[in-house]
Amino acid sequence: MKKLSLIIFLGGLMFVAGKSFGLLSHNVVKADTNAVVYTSSNDPADATYPKGAKIYKEKCAACHQLTGMGVVGAFPPLKGSDYLKANKKKALIRVLNGSNHEITVNGANYSIPMPYQVDNHEDAVAVVNYVLNAWGNDYGTVTLEEAKDVKIVR
Ligand code: HEC
C-alpha cells in the first residue's frame, strides 16, 4: 500500500514538472516567433537616416518607444502603423504642430494629444523619413517641399 502511494505521488510530481516545463518552453518558443524587434544597433534605417534617428531617440522614443511599438491604448505604434502608411503628410503636421484628434491605429483608438516636437521643416523631414523606414517600415519618404507647405503654428 505504501509503495503504491509513493508511485502515485512520484507520478503526480513528474506530471506537474512536465507540465510546467512544457509551459516554460512554450513561452520561450512564443517569444522567439514574435516579429523582429529592431534596436539602434541592428536597424539599417539608423545608418540611412542618422539625423532622423537621433531626433527620434531624443524626442519621440519616450512615447513611441525605441522599438517603435508604442504603448497600446496610450501611444500608438509607428512600426507597422496603417495610419502612418496612409498619412505621411499628417506625420509632418504632427511633429511640427502637434495633434489632438482621436485617431485609430491598427484597430486601437488613441485620444491623448501629441505635443509638437520639432521647430523647423528640416528636422521634421529628417525624423518623418526615419519613422517611415525604421523597424522594417517601407513607407517611402517625404520631401522638404512638402514639409514647407506646413505652416508652423506656435
Ligand atoms: C508625449 C508623447 C509623444 C511624443 C514625445 C511623440 N508622440 Fe507621436 N503621438 C503621440 C500620441 C498620443 C499620438 C496619437 C494621438 C494624436 O496623434 O493626436 C501620436 C501619434 C503619432 C503619429 C500618428 C499615428 C501613428 O501611430 O502612425 C505619428 C506618425 C507620430 N505620432 C510621430 C511622432 C514622432 C516622429 C515623434 C517625435 C518627433 C513623436 N510622435 C513624439 C504621443 C507622442
Mean pLDDT, the chain cut into blocks of 10 residues (154 residues total): 59 50 44 61 92 98 97 97 98 98 97 98 98 98 98 96
In terms of C-beta density within 10 A (0-12 exposed, 13-18 middle, 19 or more buried), how is residue 149 classed? exposed
Nearest CA to ligand 1 atom 19: 114
**Which pLDDT score, from 0 to 100, does residue 137 have?**
98
CB 87 within 8 A of CB 50: no
Residue with grid cell 485609430, as numbered in its chain? 104
What atom in ligand 1 is closest to the CA of residue 84?
A: 27
Output the nine-digit C-alpha cell for 20.
Answer: 510546467
CB 92 within 8 A of CB 128: yes
**Which pLDDT score, from 0 to 100, does residue 12 have?**
53
| CB-ligand 1 contact for 126 (6 Å cutoff) | no
Output the nine-digit C-alpha cell for 3.
Answer: 509503495
| CB-ligand 1 contact for 62 (6 Å cutoff) | yes
Give the integer Cα–Cα distance in Å for 113 and 100: 4
Output the nine-digit C-alpha cell for 147.
Answer: 514639409
| CB-ligand 1 contact for 40 (6 Å cutoff) | no
Residue with grid cell 509503495, as numbered in its chain? 3
Q: How many CB atoms lie within 10 A of CB 23?
A: 10
| CB-ligand 1 contact for 64 (6 Å cutoff) | yes
Phi, psi of 109 (to 5 degrees): -90, 145
**Which pLDDT score, from 0 to 100, does residue 38 have?**
79
What atom in ligand 1 is closest to the CA of residue 113?
A: 18
| CB-ligand 1 contact for 147 (6 Å cutoff) | no
CB 32 within 8 A of CB 42: no
**Which pLDDT score, from 0 to 100, does residue 149 have?**
98
